[in-house]
Amino acid sequence: MTKDWNTRTKLVHEGIRRSQYGEMAEALFLTQGFVYPSAEVAEERFLHAGPDEFIYARYGNPTTRMFEDRIAAIEGTEDAFACASGMAAVNAALTSQVKAGDHIVAARQMFGSCLYVLKVLQGFGVEVTLVDGTQLAEWDAAIKPNTKLCFFESVSNPGLEVIDITGVAKIAHAHGAKLVVDNVFASPVFSNAVAQGADIIVYSTTKHIDGGGRALGGVVCGDREFIRGPLETYAKHTGGAMSPYHAWLHLSGMQTLDLRVRAQAESAAKVAKAAEGHPALNRSIYPGLPSHPQHDLAMAQMGSGGTMVALDLKGGKEAAFKFLNALEIVKISNNLGDAKSIATHPATTTHKNLTEDERAEIKITPGMVRISIGIEDGDDLVKDIVGALDAV
């Protein structure tokens, strides 16, 4: 039903399916199955189910489909498939496209679980080459005739390095490979990934899309041939479908996605700027700061620095812990994109499974704290965060 609407309008209305009752809010169809009026209809449905015909919630559900249509519409892809978590989406997006003997080139600076999925694929005979994602020459050098996929996080977790979607897409497409982008940190609000050449875009919807830190989810966005072909086939048979209840929560979260993320990015810019140059810090890392090494690329690619700030404290783990324990508004946790601001110490939590050398290679220092800026008042956040730096 995609109309010539702008994002905020789509986020409220796109994809809605109303029952015979004409309910205003999106209905929650909490059902695993569907009743067929006759055996002939059941037979027909299993042969080819139309977009409004459902079989089993692992394959699809009206509430989940509303969510898929809404996200596809704002991302600008033909279709989308909702998964149980961001990792179910990453796993399906990669695994559905490769077999033994194929090759994947991926950025080294990535979320630990994404690296784990690549390791599993290697165990099944898929070749994987990791590169420094910010260096286009490394992508170019790594790609081979059997390369099927290039894969990276457009803004890396937690180092906030920005990778050039257009640049890597050109290299991938010149060699007949597809580009899969994990776009969580950009969020759909600052994503122009389709126009920039990404073939498949993956989100952990647990983050900005839910926006309230309530429901785990993920989604794969792409063209219809891929989404309703190999991706859906893989996802529906391996059990990674999103719960209709989570889709329903996400639909409600999405109505305010654009408002929230823009407000969060505005506060993130304030915080990063206020912290920059603080004597307790080596660096205030934020793609929106002119001092960020990929600042120009970030602005061209996303038009914003995003909602995440990383602070690299001089005093290592001890200083980072002092800082975390001095925060009042910002909570110590490990989600991101939440309405509530959250601070994480990657070296001892989300990235603790990497060796010290592996962490160093992707610039995760013992003093690094990752902050997800929420929708609280920006000046309050600046006071809280600079105050905690002062306490160090």
Among 86, 188, 197, 374, binds ligand PLP (CB under 6 A): 86
Q: By CB under 6 A, what part of segment 316-335 binds ligand PLP?
A: none
The amino acid present at 158, given as its one-letter code, is P
The number of residues that bind ligand PLP (CB under 6 A) is: 16
Q: Please report how close the Cβ of residue 161 comes to ligand PLP at its closest, in angstroms.
A: 12
User: What are the respective helix, strand and coil percentages of the chain, to the nearest 5?
Assistant: 40, 15, 45
Residue 258 binds ligand PLP, judged by CB under 6 A:
no
Q: By CB under 6 A, what part of segment 151-170 binds ligand PLP?
A: 153, 157
Q: Which residue has the tokens 């977790």?
A: 157
> Which residue is closest to ligand PLP by CB?
86
Instruction: Kindly give the pairing relationship between strand 79-83 and strand 218-222.
Output: antiparallel
Among 111, 152, 234, 248, binds ligand PLP (CB under 6 A): 111
Side-chain half-sphere exposure of 203, counting CA atoms within 13 A: 32
Q: By CB under 6 A, what part of segment 198-257 binds ligand PLP?
A: 204, 206-207, 216, 218
Which of the stretches 14-22, 79-87, 284-292, 294-302 binds ligand PLP when contact is defined by CB under 6 A? 79-87
Q: Is residue 253 within 8 Å of 235, Cβ to Cβ? A: no
Q: Is residue 56 within 8 Å of 86, Cβ to Cβ? A: no
Among 80, 87, 104, 105, binds ligand PLP (CB under 6 A): 87
Sheet order of strands, 218-222 included: 79-83, 218-222, 200-204, 178-182, 147-153, 103-107, 127-131
Q: In terms of CB distance, is 325 or 334 closer to ligand PLP?
A: 334
Distance CA 65, CA 254 (A): 14
Of 344, 359, 271, 334, which is closest to residue 307 (Cα–Cα)? Answer: 271
The amino acid present at 180, given as its one-letter code, is V
Alpha helices (runs of H) in the chain, residue ranges in sequence order? 7-13, 39-47, 62-75, 86-95, 112-123, 136-142, 165-174, 224-226, 232-238, 244-254, 257-275, 295-302, 316-326, 356-361, 378-391
Q: In terms of CB distance, is 191 or 274 closer to ligand PLP?
A: 191
x/- mask, ligand PLP, residues 175-204, rule CB under 6 A, reads -------x-x-------------------x
Q: In terms of CB distance, is 111 or 226 closer to ligand PLP?
A: 111
Q: Which residues bind ligand PLP (CB under 6 A)?
A: 85-87, 90, 111, 113-114, 153, 157, 182, 184, 204, 206-207, 216, 218
